[in-house]
Structure 1
Amino acid sequence: MGRAQASDDALFDALRQGGTVLMLRHAQTEAGVGDPPGFRLGQCSTQRNLSEAGRAQSRRIGQALAARGLVPRAVRSSGWCRCIDTAELAFGRHEIWPALHSFFAERAAQRDPQTAELRRALAGLPAPGFEAWVTHQVNITALTGTWVGMGEAVVIRGGPDGGTMLGRLSLGA
């Protein structure tokens, strides 16, 4: 994936112009890495979830975008509760997309097929509007080669080459 680093204002302009994705890592979670042994999708009590700080961070992300008149055309999310909650608190909606699911630890074999699906989606991204994809650090790194903290995002312009990362945004700080 090609890469450029633009200013925050330029990244907001790119989202306004459309044909772009705001790829957001879920907000701050309770302490830990990964999920507890035996976690199950659809059962939040078995997962590592957002902390109160992460819930507030998610709301600030949505407010920061709304204050700039930026409303995503679509909001896609991993099925992990921390991603769903980030999407709901920031944008008020979400659609589960398995391509955004974590492939941390035992799901590592999913990395290449999921990343290929994300690249295909970027290649066919419609020009009007932008999409928000709420996911995990492993997905963002696999697609862009960039590491982001919880609640940070990258802006990617779609295109036939699988997209170009325009830069990083920290919206909920």
Structure 2
Amino acid sequence: MTRLWLLALALLPLFSVAADNADAWQALREGRALILMRHATAPGTGDPANFRLGQCATQRNLNAQGRAEARRWGELLARQGIEQPRLLSSRWCRALDTASNMQRGPVQPLAALDSFFGQPTDGAEQTAELIRSINQLPAGAPLVLVSHQVNITALTGIFPASGEGLILALPLRPRAEPLARIPAP
């Protein structure tokens, strides 16, 4: 009997996290929150010197693992009752491909989600623009944003793993505290 109590006490934090995540997913479904995720796995750091926006051959791109993560994100969203979210993405190919591979609907590019890794001095202004852009959107379908580590860190102070998502309350605010952190599925 003592072993069962010890096991129950050890598992208690996991049940609390699951309950918190359930509340966060509900807020997302109701339009009271959004999910901001880092693009799925694309090996490397930054972009090659010959980077050209709109030319995927000049960029870091998703590998097979990244494409599978993106598909699993789509499946996870569907299991959570998020069938037709509004998908906004950075214009970088790895972010657009992450959003597209979710197979949850059309993807809209949003420049405020673009990486500023190569121009870190643009970070504060671009983060403020992202907050303004998101908070001006009309209420409606759940909102899924695909961006980059540097952007997410600037907004939240969190360094997300590839494919990790943060559910954030709306309206979006600087130094947003996540309602939940969702690892890459």
TM-score, length of structure 1 as denominator length: 0.87
Aligned residue pairs total: 166
* Matches of 1:167 and 1:124, distance apart in 2: 23
The answer as to 2:27 corresponding to 1:27 is no
**Counterpart in the other structure of 1:16:** 29
Q: 2:38·2:163 contact (CA, 8 Å) conserved in 1?
A: yes
For residues 144 and 152 of structure 1, the distance between their equivalents in structure 2, rounded to whole angstroms, comes to 13
Q: CA deviation at 1:164?
A: 4.9
C-alpha distance after superposition, 1:106-134 (max 9, x if no partner)? x2232112100122234445443321110
Equivalent AA in structure 1 for residue 25 of structure 2: F
Structure 1 position 66 matched with structure 2 position 89: no
Distance 1:64 1:23 in 2: 14
Contact 1:19 1:157 in 2 (8 A): yes
Confirm or deny: 8 A CA contact 2:20 2:179 kept in the other structure.
no
Distance change >3 Å, CA 121–CA 19, structure 1 → 2: farther
Q: Does structure 2 retain, via aligned residues, the 8 Å contact 1:49–1:81?
A: yes
Q: CA deviation at 1:14?
A: 1.3
Q: Which has the larger radius of gyration?
A: 2
RMSD: 2.0
Q: Which amino acid aligns with 1:103?
A: F
- Counterpart for residue 107 of structure 2: 94
CA distance in 1, matches of 2:140, 2:34: 11
Q: How far apart in 1 are the matches of 2:80 and 2:146?
A: 19
Q: Who is 2:147 aligned against?
A: 135
Give every structure 1 segment of 4 or more consecutive aligned residues whose post-TM-superposition deviation is greater than 4 Å: 160-164
Instruction: Tell me how far 1:160 sits from its aligned partner.
Output: 7.3
- 2:55 — aligned with what? 43
Structure 1, unmatched stretches of 5+, are none
Unaligned runs of 5+ in 2: 1-16
Identity rate, percent: 42
In the superposition, the TM-score normalised over structure 2's length comes to 0.81
Q: Which has the higher contact order (CA 8 A, sep 6+)?
A: 1
